[in-house]
A and B are shown apart, each in its own frame.
Chain A
Amino acid sequence: MDAVWLKAPGDLQLAERCARGDRTAQRELFQQEKRRVHATLYRVLGSNGDMEDLIQEAFIEVFRSLAGFRGEAKLSTWIDRITVRVAYAYLSRKPPGAARLEMVPEIPAGDPSAEHRAQMRQAAQHLYTVLDRLDAKLRVAFTLHVIDGRPLAEVADVMSASLVATKTRVWRARREVDRRARRDPLLQMFLEDASQGEG
């Protein structure tokens, strides 16, 4: 659940305090935005591998860049842009098709919801294996729109791209993913499930 501010300092005021090196303000911003940053990175990258380092990178970059925040957008949107850049830089450094290792939790016997979650988790792994082979920009656009459910306009904003370019990227990524899904029922099921939320 998001934190609710009764009397939150304005975005600009908080950013200014952070930019001045006010550690209290910086910690407040970290606590306020950390889960959002994590969720964005997770949806783009598909796992928590290297996540601690990436969240750290994102916030270091946020604090370094805050002097340039002028309040023209929401602070959270501005932070999203930086987070996406961190994710993109990471993907650009990572060798394509790198092995993905994850701990798979045990499925309690007789628990249908746990089995479903395990199935969806496995399906997600199939998806991210496909995404690992895509151009990073296509992957970022696809994951933010299809997996994270953000409107195309918002995806364009955080990627600092035009709406047309963003639509094209999503379409190209989707085409490749659909091609793979024709041979992968689990992936097909995941995409059908995800498509229900596409806008």
Chain B
Amino acid sequence: MSDRKHEVEPLSEASWSRVERAIFERLDAAQPSPLAGELHRAQKRRRRLFAVGGALVAAAALVLVATNLIGRGPRGESSRIVTAGAGSHVSYGEAALDVDPQSAVLLSGNDTAGVEVVLDRGGVTCEVAPRHGRPPFTVRAGAVRVRVIGTRFSVVRDGDSGRVSVVHGTVEVTVNGQVSLVHAGERWPQTVTGGVPAAHAPAPSLPVPAAAYPAPAE
């Protein structure tokens, strides 16, 4: 911005968040989206955030979106998001995704049939409402498949595989048919002393009850 002009005082991220929230609350109150009616209700539910372990520093954003449809019924078209210098924030059904810089994700499906996020490179943060028995929200990173049960977690692509860390709740990680539950505070793969990866804990035969997930603080 030139010094000749009256330099614009930037707004804080908190301000931008308030503005965005207020806009979409007003839109939802006036006219719920016909394409994402459940999103309006889901926004009033408590959500758990996913933290993504990306190591890149944001500078400028480069985003590519081919198509993006959100609807009920059969799986909709896919959406591809590619970022360069900085990340990107995208809403997809009941989920909100923060895509890391230098990342590529492919989104497909919907809240009725299930959502799949394919992480080609980089990292992604997902904000997803608890599924409560609905079709799963899944993140794939190479050979790693992460199924959201109702948590806060991060997935980072690592070659043909991925790394997962769970901040809150539990996710189910499947690799080569072997299923592991990763709980809050745990990582996958998890290195124990001596640098030898620990064996993956087998998943329990029964689904983890929703009551096991404490409600996030307001």
Contact = CB atoms under 8 A, between A and B. Distances in A.
Q: Is the interface of A mostly helix, strand, loop or mixed?
A: helix
Interface string B169-210: 000000000000000000000000000000000000000000
A20 B15 CA distance: 27
A101 interface: no
Contacts of A20: 34-35
Given A48-B11, A52-B18, A60 B64 contact: no
A120 B35 contact: no
B19 A56 contact: yes
Nearest to B6: A124
A197 B8 contact: no
Interface stretch (A35-43, A68-76, A87-95, A172-180): A35-43
Contacts of B22: 52, 56
B92 interface: yes
Contacts of A26: 24, 27
A24 B63 contact: no
Interface in A143-172: 147-149
B89 A21 contact: no
Nearest to A116: B3
Interface string A1-41: 10111110100000000001111111110110010001100
Contacts of A147: 5-6
Contacts of B90: 24, 27-28
Range, interface on chain A? 35 or more
A27 B35 CA distance: 14
B9 A42 contact: yes
B7 A24 contact: no
B33 A149 contact: no
Contacts, number: 117
Contacts of B92: 24
Interface string B33-58: 11110010000000000000000000
Contacts of B31: 21
A43 B2 CA distance: 13
A63 B27 contact: yes
B4 A3 contact: no
B91 interface: yes
Interface string A54-93: 0110011001000000000000000000000000000000
B143 interface: no
A48 B7 contact: no
Contact of A197 (B4, B11, B62): B4
Given A34-B19, A42-B6, 8 more contacts: A6-B82, A23-B35, A23-B36, A23-B91, A43-B8, A46-B6, A51-B15, A147-B5
Interface of A: 1, 3-7, 9, 20-28, 30-31, 34, 38-39, 42-43, 46-48, 51-52, 55-56, 59-60, 63, 116-117, 120-121, 124, 127, 147-149, 193-194, 196-197
7 contacts: A22-B70, A23-B36, A24-B90, A43-B6, A48-B9, A48-B11, A56-B23
